[in-house]
Structure 1
Amino acid sequence: MRERYSTRHRRRTREFEAFVAGAGGRLLHAATLLTAEPFDDNPRARRLLTAALAETYARWHRLRGEDPYDRTRQELAGRFARAAWRHHRPAVPGLPRPPADEGLLARLSAQERLILVLRLYEGVAEEQTAALMGLPTDRVRAICTRAVTTMRSAPPSPAPTPGAAT
């Protein structure tokens, strides 16, 4: 009995490791986009992905034909959405923006980032994104359009440094 459990556990571990080796990079990239961190310094994204992967591993034997990538992406998005207030700190006039918010999508709100990443980077359909977020499809479409417009517009020019010569 113990030997059979050990064999199943090793097989499960090998399968999961193969999954992480194949999908881990793309999932980390998505997590980094969500947290708006720079790609070379992304501790929040790594923690978010680690938690999502841990949940996927814990449920690995119950997936039964379900796509593990899709399951992990849902877990990643759900965890980000539940903790979004920690991942988006708006700039306060007069104070420097924290270095962790210098990522590619830092100009977007957490909700805009989540929808943009799911729709454009991950290719999730509007209906699925809406269901995942608990929003109407029209609202997801409007938020995605606003996020794309924001990203296409020129970034705001940096505020002049006090005491700098003009």
Structure 2
Amino acid sequence: MRAVGHRVGPYEEFEAFVAGAAGRLLHVAVLLTGEPEPARRLLAGALARTYANWRRLRGDDPYDFTRQELCGAFARTGRRHHGGAGILARLSPLERVVLVLRVYEGVAEGVTAAQLGLPAERVRVLCDRAVAAMRARETA
């Protein structure tokens, strides 16, 4: 039990964030990579970058920052590790990122575009193509 007046430090704040968000973030990472071990490595890197920026994140949502780091790292390295297993295995790394952000995470098209440094129209096309590929997979 904490003493009255005990102030929570940045480490404890970060620890509480990880305890609450790690499961959902790991699910995002597994959707992207298709495999648990690469997903854990991807998430560990994103969480390390979040912790390194923790003080700067005051007032911002650390979940959004971590998810952006996670997706950005996958988009940059996914081409090297393309493939994997899972339902999204047929999609390109960028299609996976867009689909996960837009459909699974419910991130607005404009926000997704800004986070990925793409025009909103490109995000729309990528999402439409990914959804069509998933639908075609269901009927095959």
**TM-score if structure 2 supplies the norm length?**
0.88
5+ residue gaps in structure 2? Answer: 1-5
1:64 is aligned to 2:58: yes
Bigger-Rg structure (1/2): 1
5+ residue gaps in structure 1? Answer: 1-6, 90-100, 158-166
Report the RMSD for the aligned CA atoms in angstroms: 1.9
Which residue of 2 is the match for residue 92 of structure 1?
A: none
- Count of matched residue pairs: 135
- Cα displacement string for residues 80-115 of structure 1 (whole angstroms, at most 9, x for unaligned residues): 1111212314xxxxxxxxxxx221211111111000
2:75 partner amino acid: A
Which residue of 1 is the match for residue 24 of structure 2?
A: 26
- Counterparts of 1:73 and 1:16, CA distance in 2: 15
- Counterparts of 1:63 and 1:132, CA distance in 2: 16
Tell me the CA shift for residue 154 of structure 1. 3.0
1:115 is aligned to 2:113: no
Tell me the CA shift for residue 143 of structure 1. 0.9
- Counterparts of 1:151 and 1:138, CA distance in 2: 20
1:104 is aligned to 2:98: no
Relative to its length, the structure with more helix (as a share) is 2
Match of 1:81 among 75, 80, 93: 75
**TM-score if structure 1 supplies the norm length?**
0.75
Identity of aligned residues (%): 63
The 5 Å alignment of 1:1-166 reads: 11-37=9-35, 42-89=36-83, 101-154=84-137
- Counterparts of 2:34 and 2:91, CA distance in 1: 9
